[in-house]
A and B are shown apart, each in its own frame.
Chain A
Amino acid sequence: MSVLGSGIFKGMAVTLKNFVGSYFDKERLTTNEYAWQANDKLPERAGDYPKEEAEQLSDTTTVTQYSRNFPMLLHDAGEPMDTVRCVACQICERECPPQCIYIEKSTEKKERSGNKAQFYPATFDIDVSVCMSCQICVEVCPFDAIVMNSQFELSTPSRFGELLLRRDDLLKSNDYYYKIHPEEASARDKRIADEKAAKEAKKKAAEAAKKKAAEAKSKSEAEAKAKEEAEAASKPTEPSDTPPAESTATPSTEPPATPTTEPEKEGSAE
C-alpha cells in the first residue's frame, strides 16, 4: 500500500473491467426471456395447467435434464391406468420424510396389458406444498413406478388444496420421461431390462435344472430298472455312473415375482 486510496482505485479498475466485460465477455450470463405466459389467469389447481404446454416447457430445452422438482407416476405406452406401474404397495408413503403422499389401494386387482393382474392406486395424492423434492420415494420404490418430474408451472392463486396433485395429474408416460430426463430414463430402462433378462435367465436355468433333474431321475430310474433286470438276468456288467437324482436337482427357488414389500416393520410408526 503506497499511496492512500490506491487500493480503492485498483478495485475500481476491476469493477470497470467487469462492467465492460458484461457486454462482451463470452461467458457473461444473460437473462432468458420467459418462454410462456398464462393467457388469462392462473388455473384454479396446480394440476390444471394446459398439459401440453406445461410439458413442453419442462423438456430439456428449458430445464436442464438433471433437475428435479416433484414426483410423477410412470405408465408405459397405452391407456395410463392400464399400464401404470404403481401397484399401491405404499412403501413410498411410509418412507416419505415429510409424509406428503397419500395412497388408497384398490380393493381388487386389475388386469394390466402385458402383465398379470395387480392392485392399483385408487387414490394417489401428493401435496406439493409439503413435498421437499428429496427423491426418497423414487429410491425406495421397488417397481420403478415413481420418478421426478421437472415441470415447474404449478403456481396457483391459493395454497389450500389447490396444490394437491391427484393421481391423474401425476400420471405421465414413459415417453415424457425420456423427454425430460433422457440420460436417467435410458439408464433406468436398461437396468429394468437387465434385471428382467437376469430374472428370465435364472428362471430358465432353474427350469432347465428341474428338467435335467427330472431327466436324470427318469434315466437313473430306467438304469436302475435295467440294472435290476440285468441283475435278475444275473449278468452284472457296467456300474451306473449317473449320480443320484437328488444331488442334481437344484432346489427350485422361484425368484419372487415382486420384491418384498415390507422392508421394515418395526420402524414404521403408523
Chain B
Amino acid sequence: MTVAAPNYELVQQDGLETSLLEVSMGPHHPSTHGVFRMDVKLDGETVVDLKPVFGYLHRNHEKLAENMSYLASMPFTDRLDYFNSMTNNWAYALAAEQLVEIEIPERAEYLRVIMSELTRLVNHVSLVGFFVNDLGALGTPLLYAFREREKILDLFEQASGARMMCNYFRFGGLRCDVPDGWLDRTREVVDRFPKFLDEYEKLLCENEIILSRTQGVGNLSKELAISAGITGPMLRASGVNYDIRKVDNYGIYERFKFRVPYSEGDVGDCYDRFMVRMLEMRESIGILRQALDGIENGPIMGNAGKVFKPQKSEAYGRVEAPKGELGFYLVADGTTQPYRYRVRPPSFINLTVLQDMCIGQQVADAVIILGSIDIVLGEVDR
C-alpha cells in the first residue's frame, strides 16, 4: 500500500483561497510519550501528511557499548526501553551467550521466564493506561494500572535491588538468587492479577466512547505490517500469528502451554491492538502460574569464566519483548569488547508505519494511533 503524495497547492474554495496547515506536535507534547515530534500537515481536521521526527534522546548507546566490556553494557540495556529492563537484559544475554557456550541452570531459566512475563504484565497494563489517557480518560485507568504495576515493581526490587533499572541478568544466569519467600509473594500477586484484569476489562472494554474512537481508526493491513517488519502485539493485531516465544522457543518456553492471541480479521485498527494486549496479559498469567509451579531450587549461575572474552564470531539474540522483537547483534573480535554492537529496537521499527496509518485520519486520532503503537523513546532513539 502506497500513499499518494499529497498536493500542497493552494485550494480555491467558495471563492476563497485556503491552504494546508502545518502543525508541529512535540517534542514537548503530552501525547508524544517522550521527546518526539510529529510534523503534521492538515487539511481542516484531516491529516494529509505526517512526518515523525526523532533523535532527541539519542545517547550513543551502540558506540558506547563498543568501547566497554561486554558486561558493562548490561546496565545500559536497562535504559533502552525503561519499562522492560528485564526483557532487554534477556535479549542481550541471549546474544552474548551464543558467542560462548554457557550452560544455563534450570532455576535461572525459570526465573528468566517469570521475570519477563511479569515485565509483560507491567508493560501492557501501563500501555493500556496510557492509551486511554490519550483518548481523554485522564488519570483514572492509568492510575489503576500503576497501582498494579507497583506491586510487580516491588517484586523486581526485592529480587534485583532496583525497581526499573534492574540489571539482573548475567551471561550464564542471573546476578543473584531471589530472596526467601519471593516466589510466594509473586504467586500472591499473580493470583490477584486476574481479578484486577476483570475489573479493568469491565471498565474499558465495553465503554462506548472507547469503542467508537478506536474501531476503524489507524488501520494497518497485514501486507504492510509484514513488509514493514512490524513485530509484537502490533503485528498480531493485524492478523499475523507470529510470536518469537513460539517461533524460536528460546529459554524454556517450549515447556509452557500458552496461546498467542491475534486478530482474526484483516483490519488491524487501534481497537485490535488494544484487545490483543488485554488478552496477552491473561496468557502471561498462565505462563507465570506454570513457571511458579515448575521452579525448583538449584544454582542460578552457569560456569561463565570471570572474564568474558569470546572468540571471533558473531551472534544475534532476540526475544519477544512486550513491544515486539528485540534483538541484539554482536560481532566479537576476540577481545573483551564487542567489535560491533547493534540493537534492533521494536518501538523504532513499529514507528515507521505511523505515517501510513495516520494519513486520512482526524488529527485527534493521530494521537491515539501513536499511543496504540506502544513506543518508548529511550528505545527509539537509543
CB atoms of A269 and B67 under 8 A apart? yes
**Which B residue's beta carbon lies closest to that of A5?**
B208
Which single member of B73, B158, B161, B208 contacts A8 (CB below 8 Å)? B208
The 10 closest A-B CB pairs, nearest first, are: A267-B336, A7-B206, A134-B75, A68-B161, A97-B72, A14-B203, A11-B203, A66-B158, A7-B207, A264-B336
Q: Tell me the number of A-to-B contacts counted with CB atoms below 8 Å.
A: 89
A14 touches B199 (CB 8 A): yes
Closest chain A residue to B137, Cβ basis: A11
B69 in contact with A264 (CB, 8 Å): yes
B258 to chain A, nearest CB (A): 27
**Which of these, B73, B147, B159, B179, contacts A183 with CB under 8 Å?**
B179
A8 → B minimal CB distance (Å): 6
* Cβ distance A176 to chain B, nearest Cβ, rounded Å: 17
Within 8 A of B (CB), among A132-182: 132-136, 139, 148
The answer on a CB contact under 8 Å between B335 and A64 is no
Interface residues of B in 322-349 (CB under 8 A from A): 335-337
B165 sits at the interface (CB 8 A): yes
Whether A136 and B306, one on each chain, are in contact in the complex, defined by CB atoms closer than 8 angstroms, is no
Report the separation of the CA atoms of residues A136 and B167 in the bound assembly, to the nearest whole angstrom.
9
Residues 1-24 (chain A) with a chain B CB within 8 angstroms: 1, 4-8, 10-11, 13-15, 18
Residue among B69, B72, B147 making CB contact with A29, cutoff 8 Å: B147
Name the one of A7, A68, A96, A266 contacting B162, with C-beta atoms under 8 angstroms: A68
Known: A97-B75, A133-B165. Is A263-B157 also a contact (CB below 8 A)? no
- Interface of A toward B, CB cutoff 8 Å: 1, 4-8, 10-11, 13-15, 18, 29, 64, 66-68, 95-97, 132-136, 139, 148, 183, 263-264, 266-267, 269
Listed residue (A13, A68, A96, A267) with the most chain B CB atoms within 10 angstroms of its CB: A267
Give, as a whole number of angstroms, the nearest-CB distance from B102 to chain A: 17
Min CB gap A253→B, angstroms: 19
- Residues of chain B at the chain A interface (Cβ within 8 Å): 67-69, 71-76, 79, 140, 144, 147, 150, 154, 157-159, 161-162, 165, 167, 175, 179-180, 199, 202-204, 206-209, 211, 306-307, 309, 335-337
Q: How far is the CA of A1 from the CA of B206 in the complex (A)?
A: 7
Given the complex, which residues of B lie within 8 Å of A29, measured CB to CB?
Answer: 147, 150
A266 to B69, CA, bound (A): 10
Q: Which of A4, A11, A134 contacts B165 (CB 8 A)?
A: A134
Q: Within the complex, which residue of B144, B167, B211 is in contact with A7, where a contact is CB–CB below 8 Å?
A: B211
**13 new A-B contacts at CB < 8 Å, known A10-B203, A139-B175:** A5-B208, A8-B207, A14-B203, A18-B144, A66-B159, A67-B162, A134-B75, A136-B71, A136-B75, A136-B167, A264-B69, A266-B336, A267-B69
Instruction: Name the one of B150, B159, B204, B307 contacting A263, with C-beta atoms under 8 angstroms.
Output: B307
Set of chain A residues within 8 Å of B79, measured between Cβ atoms: 132
Check A266 against B335 for contact (C-beta < 8 Å).
Answer: yes
B137 to chain A, nearest CB (A): 9
Shortest beta-carbon distance from B171 to chain A in Å: 12
* Pairwise interchain contact A64-B307, C-beta atoms closer than 8 A: no
Find A14's partner among B175, B202, B209 (CB 8 Å cutoff).
B202
Q: In the complex, what's the smallest C-beta–C-beta distance from A48 to chain B, in angstroms?
A: 26
Nearest CB on A from B303, distance (A): 16
Distance in angstroms from B184 CB to nearest chain A CB is 15
- Are B208 and A132 in contact, with the CB atoms below 8 A? no
Query: What are some 9 contacts across the A-B interface (CB < 8 A)?
Result: A1-B211, A7-B207, A66-B179, A95-B69, A97-B73, A97-B76, A136-B74, A148-B161, A263-B307
Q: Determine which of B67, B154, B202, B309 lies in contact with A264 in the assembled complex, contact meaning CB atoms within 8 Å.
A: B309
User: Which A residues touch B76, using CB under 8 A?
Assistant: 97
In the complex the two chains form, is B208's CB within 8 Å of A10's CB?
A: no
